[in-house]
Amino acid sequence: MMIRTKRKASPGRQASPGREPGGNTALQENVETNRGITIGLTADARRMSRCDKRIVAVALLVAMIGTVFDRAPLQAEDVVYVAGAKRGQPPAQWKGQIVKYTGKELELRTSLGTTKKFLAARIVKINTPLTEDHKAADALLAQGKYAAALARYVAARNKDGRQWMRRRIFAQEVWCHRALGQFGLAGEQFIILYQSDPTTALVDCVPLAWGALPFSGSLERRAGEWMARADSPITSLLGASHLLSSASRRNEALERLGRLATDRDPNIAILAQAQLWRSQVVTAGPQQVATWQRAIEKMPKPLRAGPYYVLGQALARKKNGQYEEAALAFLRIATLYENNLTLSSAALLEAGSALESLSRNGEARNGEARDLYQQLVREHPRSPAAASARERLRTLKIP
């Protein structure tokens, strides 16, 4: 069976995932000033007491989702496509202005002045006007120019008066921070995003660790603060996921994940359960791995990337030896979750390694492994996984 990934060619990545860049620049710290309120997390804020940090967090939240009457809304109509009541029916089209849009419902003021409400789960797509900064940011993100995209997203958020759109822009900023290796900042921004709408459908941008993220002392300290937030299960989950890589706090993280696996929020429970799999990758046998696979198939599609990564690792263990299935699990990430840069680049490396294992077992798959390594080096040249891919290409005697 020939395995191929179907991807668009993309330019070289701009920044190297890894430790959070130092310095106190506006770009790296995502600092902006809006009517006297500092937006972002400066080095000084990180040195504050825990109480002061909470005050800053509240200010951040207010600044992000507060009333914005001084900002003129975009004038063009929104077009909302709502799934039909019966299977096979085409989506219904509604025009007007979106007043509110959360993970629970969308509220639309129609051109006739009436108000319509729709369950968020029924929204098929939305056509809405974007600011020029937003359009430019989207283009830069597609080109892999994450620092430049981040700056334009911040500008777009400052100019867009729609709260629901500001949340979506905020999610794009989280993806940019993740791509730049700024996992601490990505986590802080995600927490603010989630606090503004706990029902958000943008939960897929949560920067959980799945075994592929670089880990530093500063991130460990921040993760400890997150995990201690018993009042916020998603924040606690975020911290525990990173502390699984901490030798001194691993058991504490496992205990917290065990509690979160029964959380009343199904998304948090699903992700916590999958995080617990990370501690069982080495010991999991075929039956347990098959159980994981069935569980993933029942998860919401946006949340499957990390669980697929853990599944692939378990399948590729020598005791299971399901290298073909492992490669397919990893390639699902690289193909379907390209915006998850760190995980998709690591998945390409793991898929190549699984194919090499098939070659050692008598199948001629080194050529496919080579193709994946070359794709990784081409599309994610500065990622930690790319360095390993270059070494594998040298071992395979391929320049």
Q: Which residue has the tokens 């790296």?
A: 28
Global pTM exceeds 0.75: yes
Report which residue type is found at 109: R
Domain extents for the chain? 78-83+92-129, 290-399
Instruction: Give the chain's count of helices (H) and strands (E).
Output: 17, 7
CATH superfamily of 290-399: Tetratricopeptide repeat domain (1.25.40.10)
Confidence of residue 383 (pLDDT cuts 50, 70, 90): confident
Q: Which two tokens stand for residue 162?
A: 């729609």
Q: How far apart are the first and last CA of the chain?
A: 26
Residue 89 CB coordination number (10 Å): 9
Question: Which of 249, 273, 248, 247 lies closest to 260, judged by CA?
Answer: 273
Report for 109-113, 141-145, 225-229: range of highest mean pLDDT:
225-229
Q: Is the pLDDT of residue 397 over 90?
A: no
d(CA 289, CA 315): 7
Q: What is the DSSP string of 64-89?
A: HHS--TTSPPP-SPEEEEE--SSTTP
Q: Which two tokens stand for residue 248?
A: 């001194």
Confidence of residue 17 (pLDDT cuts 50, 70, 90): very low
47 vs 345, more confident: 345
Residue-averaged pLDDT of the chain: 83
Query: 53-72: per-residue pLDDT in tens?
Result: 554 444 455 455 443 333 54
Question: Which of 64, 29, 26, 42 lies closest to 158, judged by CA?
Answer: 64
Query: 317-356: per-residue pLDDT in tens?
Result: 876 688 999 999 999 999 999 889 889 999 999 999 999 9
Give, in order, the Cα–Cα distances in Å from 55 to each of 178, 188, 365, 376: 25, 14, 56, 42
pLDDT of residue 341: 87
Helix H, strand E, coil C: the string for 87-114 is CCCCCEEEEEEEEEECCCEEEEEECCCC
Q: Which residue has the tokens 């789960």?
A: 121
Q: Which two tokens stand for residue 102?
A: 């959360």
Least confident of 65-69, 80-84, 114-118, 296-300: 65-69
Confidence of residue 44 (pLDDT cuts 50, 70, 90): very low
d(CA 332, CA 103): 26
The backbone torsions φ and ψ at residue 42, rounded to the nearest 5 degrees and listed phi first, read -85, 170
- State mean pLDDT over 300-327: 91
Q: Where are the alpha helices (DSSP H) in 244-322?
A: 250-260, 266-277, 286-298, 305-315
267 vs 85, more confident: 267
Q: Where are the alpha helices (DSSP H) in 197-246?
A: 217-227, 233-243
Confidence of residue 15 (pLDDT cuts 50, 70, 90): very low
pLDDT of residue 86: 84
Q: What percent of the chain has pLDDT over 70?
A: 79
d(CA 23, CA 30): 12
Residue 77 CB coordination number (10 Å): 16
Confidence of residue 75 (pLDDT cuts 50, 70, 90): low
